[in-house]
Structure 1
Amino acid sequence: MRRASSFRATYDAALARWPGPVDSVDLPTPYGVTRVNRCGPAGAPPLVLLPGGGATSTVWGACVAAGAARAHRVHAVDLVGDPGLSVPAADRAIRSVGDLVGWLDAVLDGLGPHGPVTLAGHSYGAWIAAHHAALRPDRLGRLVLLDPTQVFTGLRPGYVLRALPVLARPTPERIRSFLAWETRGAALDPAWLRLQEEIAGFPAVRPVTGPRPDLAGLAHPSGGGPRVDVLFAGLARCHDSGRAARAARELLPGAAVDVLPGVAHHALPLTAAEEIVRRLAR
């Protein structure tokens, strides 16, 4: 109970740093209750944000501060089964890609967005977003993938080896050390970093993994699918960003694919927020 209350207090402190009013809502889905933190004009075009694994929806605070909610109604989602305030259903766990797509369908239904949805995800959240777009292209107006993992290329073995101790037995020290290594010592939001340390006490849940999404149907936006933007972190240790970008351009010739130099994978939503928001506004 003490760990849960400490996590909640740290989560609330990170969310309190967001500018302007934030409306938090718990959406019922067949897979559990999903926490969504919303801000921006109620009638503005919807922007649904999926965080990386373990990052929680609070990771998008820098993007909100940079103006993501000026022209959009932002819906920042806590992944069900991941650290955050979403609560998995006791009798129906998410076990497959199909379950993830069904869960996100239910979230979008619950949000009742006005107009075409822009779905943006970072890292593991981008993998989920890509699978959803591949199977439900008619639900989206735009897909934005921010340093997506396991979408265009695999993970580097060295990154996996460094991450394994954190995944197997997370401690605040291991989490800090891993993030400092991957981001090359980038200055991360201290409130978000404290929340990451709190995640060490969060119940471990094995994330759903699976094949790369089949994005062939999204190769040309004129075919009726969403417009696709892909932004890779130039300093990412999880994969070779240049190789991943080449693979993305080959697979999605109609997409806007870029590599942002000087930014690491885990730091991307925190330290490159202005660039992300600029691209969202295009």
Structure 2
Amino acid sequence: MSQTAFDLAYDELRARWPTSTEERDVDTPYGRTRVHVYGPVDGAPLVLLHGGSATGLVWFANAPALGRRHRIHAVDILGDAGRTDRSGGTPLKTADDLTAWLDALLDGLGLTRTHLCGHSYGAWLAVRYALHAPPRVDRLALLDPTQVFAGFRPGYLLRALPLLIRPTQARAAAFLEWETAGTNPDETWQRLYALAATVPGRKLITGRRPRVTDLRMPVLVLLAEDSRAHHPEKVSDRASRALPKGKVVVMPGATHHSLPLTAPQQLNEHLTAFLG
């Protein structure tokens, strides 16, 4: 089978990961899931859930530092672009299906407990899973979470509308350039993000905002100071009031989509300190 432009960009970004990174394809009732695994075998497990269109490869700038102590499992989320195979499995229809998929994925990875970190849409999914199966989540890290503490800015949704109606690489690239202005995210990743819009069959399952006041594990919320997805001040205030074991940190100069790649050393230091 000939490779698509998305496949070529995916392989190019995959090459940025440490050479000892393993590729695992885990069978679940909903489809075979690609997971990038790095770090010491006896390290504390850490599952990473990316934002929409970002793929599990977006953590390439974080893996070397986080993988010193932790066994990283960076997931290509089911329903999004990536190497996760949706064919042949039970179709995802609801948010409950997503948590059932994560249950099966953790079982397949042999993880009875793990630290969980998500960015954007991945943070929403991480919160839902932590509420669904709290005994399996030791610590929860949320990077500029969307639809968790507050809704999207109307202006952000307005900018995204053309991309949602008729997704193209050019529209995705323009939207990303607008939101990440001034931060200069990695060019290979930007190309992969834009090409994700052209992948057929993408379907991100969404749902209502989770009840964050029910979270009982330690939670770190890292917010992008210049996020255009929502109002960081509002999110910070609500997170501080809602989380009994929460810590909120604002990353200076970061935007919503650039966050995992903006000043990765600072981001890695915050995550490493929180995860212990």
- Does the alignment reach a TM-score above 0.5? yes
* SS in structure 1 of the partner of residue 51 of structure 2: coil
Shift of 1:215: 2.1
Given the alignment, which residue of 69, 75, 79 partners 1:77? 75
Q: Provide closer, same or farther for how the CA distance between residues 200 and 208 of structure 1 changes in structure 2, counting only shifts above 3 A.
A: closer
Report what 1:222 is aligned to: none
* SS in structure 2 of the partner of residue 201 of structure 1: coil
Tell me whether 1:174 sits opposite 2:171 in the alignment.
Answer: yes
The one-letter code sitting in structure 2 at the alignment partner of 1:153 is: A
Structure 2 matches for 1:74-223, cutoff 5 A?
A: 74-113=72-111, 116-218=113-215
Report what 1:57 is aligned to: 56
Shift of 1:116: 3.9
Shift of 1:197: 2.8
Query: Is the 1:237–1:264 contact (alpha carbons within 8 Å) kept by the matching residues of 2?
Result: yes
Shift of 1:6: 2.8
What per-residue deviation string (whole Å, max 9, x for no partner) do you get for residues 111-160 of structure 1? 113x7411000000000000000111110110000000000000011100
What per-residue deviation string (whole Å, max 9, x for no partner) do you get for residues 55-103 of structure 1? 10111111114x1111111100001110000011445111111111101
Query: Is the 2:217–2:245 contact (alpha carbons within 8 Å) kept by the matching residues of 1?
Result: no
Shift of 1:216: 2.2
Output the CA distance in 2 between the equivalents of 1:276 and 1:241. Answer: 17
The one-letter code sitting in structure 2 at the alignment partner of 1:158 is: G
The one-letter code sitting in structure 2 at the alignment partner of 1:175 is: A
Query: Is the 1:57–1:77 contact (alpha carbons within 8 Å) kept by the matching residues of 2?
Result: yes
Segments of 5+ residues of structure 2 without an aligned counterpart are: none
Shift of 1:175: 1.6
Query: Is the 1:138–1:226 contact (alpha carbons within 8 Å) kept by the matching residues of 2?
Result: no
TM-score (norm 1): 0.92
The one-letter code sitting in structure 2 at the alignment partner of 1:260 is: M
Report what 1:221 is aligned to: none
Report what 1:279 is aligned to: 270
Shift of 1:192: 1.0
Report what 1:242 is aligned to: 233
The one-letter code sitting in structure 2 at the alignment partner of 1:235 is: D
Segments of 5+ residues of structure 1 without an aligned counterpart are: 219-224
Figure out how many residues of one structure are paired with residues of the other and give that number. Answer: 273
* SS in structure 1 of the partner of residue 260 of structure 2: helix
Query: Is the 1:53–1:125 contact (alpha carbons within 8 Å) kept by the matching residues of 2?
Result: yes
Output the CA distance in 1 between the equivalents of 2:179 and 2:243. Answer: 28
RMSD of aligned residue pairs (Cα, Å): 1.5
Shift of 1:204: 4.0
TM-score (norm 2): 0.94
Say which is worse superposed, 197-206 or 37-46, in terms of deviation: 197-206
The one-letter code sitting in structure 1 at the alignment partner of 2:235 is: A
* SS in structure 1 of the partner of residue 18 of structure 2: coil
Output the CA distance in 1 between the equivalents of 2:47 and 2:89. Answer: 27
Report what 2:66 is aligned to: 68
Query: Is the 1:242–1:259 contact (alpha carbons within 8 Å) kept by the matching residues of 2?
Result: no
The one-letter code sitting in structure 1 at the alignment partner of 2:260 is: P
* SS in structure 2 of the partner of residue 88 of structure 1: coil
